[in-house]
Structure 1
């Protein structure tokens, strides 16, 4: 009976170690992701790619902090049966073709919400 109890205790200990390691790994991943996407360059790339792929939903606007404009674009896309999504596509291309300094000055410092 004591062998069974020792085996259970060992299994519980191993499970706890595994759970703690998983939590640590997830925490490291989350912190690295925050650092990666907090920088200007990666915000530009992320907003540009999302503008091209999901521009009609206005997700690229939300990434840059333009919530009102994101909702406007989403509603316009719905009302035009998707035609307004071309705006997001064009904006995504513009974001990716700007230099890092131009993107930062225009969309993050200057707060220019459209094109």
Structure 2
């Protein structure tokens, strides 16, 4: 059955999966056949339901309910060319961070360019970070994960 990770605590190696049938299943990290470090909230998985537990868990194909395909290169280019307006944040679904960058950009033009300069430096740093990360790290950190900054 297909599902996605709702929560996983690596310290206790326990978590929950939301199945395609709408039921929540408990699971243990030992039931995961791949690298347990890839178990993050929103990760698509395939599993075998066994009562209230999920067993034989494997990384699944990305489903439409997951965060979607986001290109690391596209995000990096948006950060480089339009990052001062926070466009790359909106692309990654980090609306709050995008609004903050927009609010620094527009008034910053009239305030001696200082807020604009700070936002431009942040977007350039993020451009470099996006390029240096692998596709898997980028997906885990910025698309499936909750990280909005750096």
Q: TM-score range by the shorter chain?
A: 0.5 to 0.7
The DSSP-based 3-state class of the residue aligned with 2:131 is: helix
Instruction: Give the corresponding residue for 2:15.
Output: none
Instruction: Give the corresponding residue for 1:100.
Output: 135
User: How does the TM-score come out when normalised to structure 2?
Assistant: 0.47
Do the aligned partners of 1:48 and 1:91 also contact (CA within 8 Å) in 2? yes
Q: Can you give the 5+ residue segments of structure 1 that lack an aligned partner in the other structure?
A: 1-37
Compare relative contact order (CA 8 Å, sep 6+) and give the higher one, 1 or 2.
Answer: 1
Counterpart CA distance in 2 for 1:98 and 1:87 is 17
Counterpart CA distance in 1 for 2:125 and 2:83 is 8
Shift of 1:73: 0.9
Instruction: Give the corresponding residue for 1:75.
Output: 103
Counterpart CA distance in 2 for 1:69 and 1:111 is 11
Which structure has the larger Rg? 1
Instruction: Give the corresponding residue for 2:69.
Output: 39
Shift of 1:49: 0.5
Q: 2:122 aligns with which of 87, 99, 103?
A: 87
Q: Can you give the 5+ residue segments of structure 2 that lack an aligned partner in the other structure?
A: 1-67
Shift of 1:55: 0.9
Report the RMSD for the aligned CA atoms in angstroms.
1.4
Report which of the two has the higher share of strand.
2
User: How does the TM-score come out when normalised to structure 1?
Assistant: 0.60
Instruction: Give the corresponding residue for 2:86.
Output: 58
The DSSP-based 3-state class of the residue aligned with 1:52 is: helix
Report which of the two has the higher share of helix.
1
Counterpart CA distance in 2 for 1:95 and 1:64 is 12
